[in-house]
Amino acid sequence: MNVLVAGGAGYIGSHTAKRLLESGHTPVIYDNASRGHKIVAGILNVPAVWADLKDRSVLLSALRDYRIDCVMHFAAYTAVGESVEQPLMYYRNNVATTISVLQAMAEAGVRRFVFSSTCATYGDPDQVPITENEKQAPVSPYGRSKLMVEQILKDQAVADPQFKFAALRYFNASGCASDGSLGEDHDPETHLIPVVLQAALGKRAGITVFGTDYPTPDGTNVRDYIHVDDLADAHIAAMGKLDDLGQIFCNLGTGNGFSVKQVIAAAEKVTGKTIPVTYGPRRAGDAITLYADPSRARELLGWQAQHTDPQSIIASAWNWFSRHPDGYARKG
């Protein structure tokens, strides 16, 4: 298929474009480069449109000129703290812009849509592992913006029975392309694994672990870390099932959680370096344990995560970070 990858210059979008290419599809990156990296289009040697999704004429031309069959949408802001500080920015970018995309798709006759959703739509779950039957009660503007889009997709499918979509709710995206070609480069960086590896490289003084008194085996938070290549493969699998299933809602995860201390220990094994750690108090709003029940994705999509331990995930990230200590800006 010809696939427009909205936000394709970002972390998950770029890795998905790569996997699409390797799977025999034709990806087209569409990104305004505000938080993505133009260099990835050159690395992948794929066409790219550098424009805002709200630019209706450019978006329509891209959909038509490249004869797009499906849109994969990764062009969202994703920082929970930032969403609390600037909720209107999040609702405008994550919700209003998505409406613009859906309107352009309808006008261009493109009726397949794969949406990058999030486990944040569940908020603080009653049960772990989290199934798709868990109540959706997000606790941040970020999570609420994603849930709003999910509802919009359901409403659009009622209005246009030919419109088919998948909403994939995933957990902590992590790791880098297995061949070292693509990586994770955010500014500022807040994700645990990159922060730990930056500390190993001496790019930051160390890391702070927030809370060591949680009711977990080692007292630190537990999360589900899923390799970015696995996420990309799930999006491709979902795209392939749209015509048969029509509407897809799936959690994407490994089915296991790893603690902050486990991640740090795995990073020290991979890098051979000691990570300087400072222990601080709990952060308000941090959940104790979050990980997915991915059985529905296995049943519906025929997909399951291939990277299931933190050491292999971190090794793929270290392969990239050790050669790109300053991200895409400069290769070390």
Domain ranges of the chain: 2-174+225-252, 192-223+255-329
CATH topology of domain 192-223+255-329: UDP-galactose 4-epimerase; domain 1 (3.90.25)
The DSSP letter of residue 80 is: H
142 catalytic? Reply is yes
pLDDT value at residue 332: 34
Pick the catalytic residue from 30, 77, 142, 291.
142
pLDDT value at residue 279: 94
Say if residues 208 and 279 touch (Cβ distance below 8 Å): yes
pLDDT value at residue 329: 81
Question: pTM of the prediction?
Answer: 0.95
Across the beta sheet with 258-259, the strand order is 258-259, 222-223, 289-290
Amino acid in the structure at residue 142: Y
Say if residues 221 and 211 touch (Cβ distance below 8 Å): yes
pLDDT value at residue 331: 41
pLDDT value at residue 286: 78
| Kind and range of the H or E run holding 168 | strand 164-170
Distance CA 127, CA 169 (A): 16
CATH topology of domain 2-174+225-252: Rossmann fold (3.40.50)
pLDDT value at residue 124: 87
pLDDT digit string (tens) for the chain, length 332 residues? 999 999 999 999 999 999 999 999 999 999 999 999 999 999 999 999 999 999 999 999 999 999 999 999 999 999 888 999 999 999 999 999 999 999 999 999 999 999 999 999 998 899 999 999 999 999 899 999 999 999 999 999 999 999 999 999 998 999 999 899 999 998 888 889 999 999 999 999 999 999 999 999 999 999 999 999 999 999 999 999 999 999 999 999 999 999 999 999 999 999 999 999 999 998 776 788 889 999 999 999 999 999 999 999 999 999 999 999 999 985 43
